[in-house]
Amino acid sequence: MTSTLDEIYKKVLPYLTIDVNSISDEMVRHTAGYAYLAQELARAKGKAADLKNNLEYKKAVALIESKGLTITDGLGKEIAVTDSVAKACVDASEPVAEAKKALVAAERDLAFWQSVLDAMYQRSYMLTKLADMQQHELALAGNEYNEGVRQSLKSEVANQDTNRITRDAYMAKRQSQLETMRDAVRSSK
């Protein structure tokens, strides 16, 4: 990775933090964040695979080149290098050493993105638990509210004047009887 640790931290942190005051929004953001981080992981895997192939290619080229080398023996005679010497030359070649360093850096990058994705699994678990807790709290708050409404209605009914209720019912019945009589008189005319 060419970024500094601070840059990486700032880049990844927003995907891993949770705003507990907005769980529903966080659930939506989680999916998008997971998709992005999975792409970063796939990119890192692809880069590591490419660099591994590149290393193998550089090793093959170095082996072919080293097999063409000759050495002078103690008698001053030119002789071809042995297979073991040719293989040793491969590991010592500068292009192979650079390819190994690049591969190690890519594998470190891959491990980093894998750990971030693992942290996203933990974030998913926490979001699920927070959502469950929030639903439970809402249910409790709803039950408390409903109980409060029930108690309020019960106290209002208890506080009402029972004579007034009886009188109002009597007046409503009387009004209904008067309307029925009026309708009967009108229809008889």
Helix axes 94-159, 5-16, angle to 10 degrees: 30
* φ, ψ at 133 (rounded to 5°): -65, -40
pLDDT, mean of residues 64-76: 73
pLDDT band at 1 (very low <50, low <70, confident <90, very high): very low
Does the residue 142 lie in any domain?
no
Percent residues over pLDDT 90 in the chain: 18
Does the residue 140 lie in any domain?
no
Q: Are residues 3 and 95 in the same domain?
A: yes
Does the residue 148 lie in any domain?
no
Does the residue 153 lie in any domain?
no
Q: Are residues 128 and 170 in the same domain?
A: no
Distance of CA 110 to the CA centre of its chain: 18
Does the residue 184 lie in any domain?
yes
Percent residues over pLDDT 70 in the chain: 78
0.75 cut: is pTM over it? no
The residue range of the domain holding 11 is 1-133
Q: Are residues 28 and 101 in the same domain?
A: yes
**Whole-Å CA distances, 172 to 9, 161, 177:** 75, 17, 9
pLDDT band at 110 (very low <50, low <70, confident <90, very high): very high
Does the residue 41 lie in any domain?
yes
Does the residue 138 lie in any domain?
no
Q: Are residues 8 and 63 in the same domain?
A: yes
Q: Are residues 49 and 129 in the same domain?
A: yes
* φ, ψ at 70 (rounded to 5°): -130, 155
Strand (E) or helix (H) holding 87: helix 83-92
Of the residues 133, 150, 181, the one at which a domain ends: 133
Does the residue 151 lie in any domain?
no
pLDDT band at 174 (very low <50, low <70, confident <90, very high): confident
Q: What is the number of structural domains in the chain? A: 2
